[in-house]
Structure 1
Amino acid sequence: MRLRVDPLPLPELAFADVVLVVDVIRATTTAACFLEAGAEALYLTSSLETARAFKDQDVVLAGEEGGLRPPGFDLGNSPREALEAPVGGRTVVMSTTNGTRAAHLAAKTAKHVLLASLFNAHAAARKALELATEEVAILCAGKEGRVGLDDLYTAGVLAEYLLLMREMSPEDGARIALTLKRAYPDPLEPLSLSAAAQALKGVGLEADVPFCAQVAQSSAVPILSGRVGEALIFKRAGKAS
């Protein structure tokens, strides 16, 4: 079975099997937290305008623009906020700058799309192996078209755990991610050095970074289960065997 890491969501990419989408600071961490808080479903939209179209329904709007909660949204993109949010049994509509767009790219061709982060890394890796028949791809969201240290490090954590569980053939991107992971014993260091973390510091949300650096704290794995209009529907995957 192949193990692949794509450092950026380039439009020409295609995926044969299972994709783990990573936007560790913060979208995929926040998505897992919403499910931990009891959300029934997540609708991921590729733009704020599409998300706002759901406003007249009984949904919670969550997202970010420049790191901050957009006007008219109920919540931002903070995983700390998401974990405590009153979303039990409700649908959360999410739109973020990088992560939700990467998920939409993966959904064009992949058989299965999962949202992964350090927070749910082990559960996401186990679910990917349960579903995969030929390839597990890890797609990094990056930051505004540039490779993100935080996402590539997280891909290395996922890749290392996948290889512990299954004999796989890592492609060059996976080998690069593994090398990066092994260069930083403490996840907080590469995450703190990343451009995403520096941007959060600029808007006073740097406390989200240590939260995102926690490894294997959640069993909640968002998995693509359908669509409604332009939104991708993610629900909590069943327990991996």
Structure 2
Amino acid sequence: MRLRVDLVPQENLSYIDVVLVVDVIRATTTASAFLEAGACALYLTPSLESARAFRDDDVVLAGEEGGLKPAGFDYGNSPREAQQAPVGGKIVVMSTTNGTRTAHLAARSAKHVLLASLYNAHAAARLAHQLATEEVAVLCAGKEGRIGLDDVYTAGVLAEYLQIMGSYELEDGALIALTTRRTYPDPLEPLHLSAAAAALRQVGLEADVPFCAQVAASPAVGVLVGRVGEALIFERAQRSGNNA
């Protein structure tokens, strides 16, 4: 089995099996928090405009523009806010600058797409290992087309967990991610050093960073189950012999 890590999204990437999409600060962390809060599904859209098209009584809009809640949206992209949100039984439509667009890139070709972060790292890695037949790939969202230290570190944590569960042939990206993971024993350090954290400090949302640095605090993993319009539909993977 191969273990691949793509450090930044690129249009020419393609996938043959399982992809773990990582945008640890903050989209994939926030996704798990909404699922924990009881959202029945997440609709990930490639733009704010396509998200607004889903506005309905049983739908809430969540996302960010420049790190802040977009005009007309119910929630921003804060996992602290999402965890407490009254979204039980509702659809949460999400659109963010990096994470949701990266999920769309993965969904073009992958058999399975999962939303992973430090927050759900154990559960996400376990489900990816169970689903994979040829390859597990980790796709880092980065920040606006550039490599993000926070996402590469998270990919290294996921790679460590995957290696515990099975024997993997490591590609160079996976080796880079593992080296980054071993450089920082405390997950809060690389997250604080990242450009994503710096951007949050500029808009007064730095309290989201320690939340995103929690490791394996949640069992909630979003898994791609379909599409509607321009949205990818993610639901929480159920605990069973085949799921996390």
**Interval containing the TM-score (normalised by the shorter chain):** over 0.9
When the two chains are superposed, the root-mean-square deviation of aligned CA atoms in Å is 0.7
> Equivalent residue of 1:21, what SS?
strand
Give unpaired runs (5+ residues) of structure 1: none
1:156 and 2:156 correspond: yes
1:6 and 2:6 correspond: yes
Provide the residue aligned with 1:237 in structure 2. Answer: 237
Provide the residue aligned with 1:59 in structure 2. Answer: 59
> Equivalent residue of 2:89, what SS?
coil
> Equivalent residue of 1:139, what SS?
strand
Output the CA distance in 1 between the equivalents of 2:121 and 2:170.
18
Provide the residue aligned with 2:81 in structure 1. Answer: 81
1:118 and 2:118 correspond: yes
Give unpaired runs (5+ residues) of structure 2: none
Output the CA distance in 1 between the equivalents of 2:56 and 2:118.
34
1:57 offset after TM fit, Å?
A: 4.8
Provide the residue aligned with 2:22 in structure 1. Answer: 22
> Equivalent residue of 1:38, what SS?
coil
1:39-50 aligned within 5 A = 39-50=39-50
The letter of the residue matching 2:72 is G
Output the CA distance in 1 between the equivalents of 2:114 and 2:58.
25
1:78-157 aligned within 5 A = 78-157=78-157
1:68 and 2:72 correspond: no
Output the CA distance in 2 between the equivalents of 1:238 and 1:6.
27
For residues 214-234 of structure 1, give each alpha carbon's deviation from its aligned partner in whole angstroms, at most 9, with x where no partner exists: 000000000000000010000
1:34 and 2:28 correspond: no
The letter of the residue matching 2:21 is V
> Equivalent residue of 1:94, what SS?
strand
Output the CA distance in 1 between the equivalents of 2:205 and 2:35.
22
Output the CA distance in 2 between the equivalents of 1:185 and 1:128.
24
For residues 177-213 of structure 1, give each alpha carbon's deviation from its aligned partner in whole angstroms, at most 9, with x where no partner exists: 0000000000000000000000000000000000000
Matched residue pairs, number? Answer: 241
For residues 80-127 of structure 1, give each alpha carbon's deviation from its aligned partner in whole angstroms, at most 9, with x where no partner exists: 000000000100000000000000000000000000000000000000
Query: Percent identity, aligned pairs only?
Result: 76
> Equivalent residue of 1:75, what SS?
coil
> Equivalent residue of 1:176, what SS?
helix
Deviating runs (4+, > 2 A) in structure 1? none
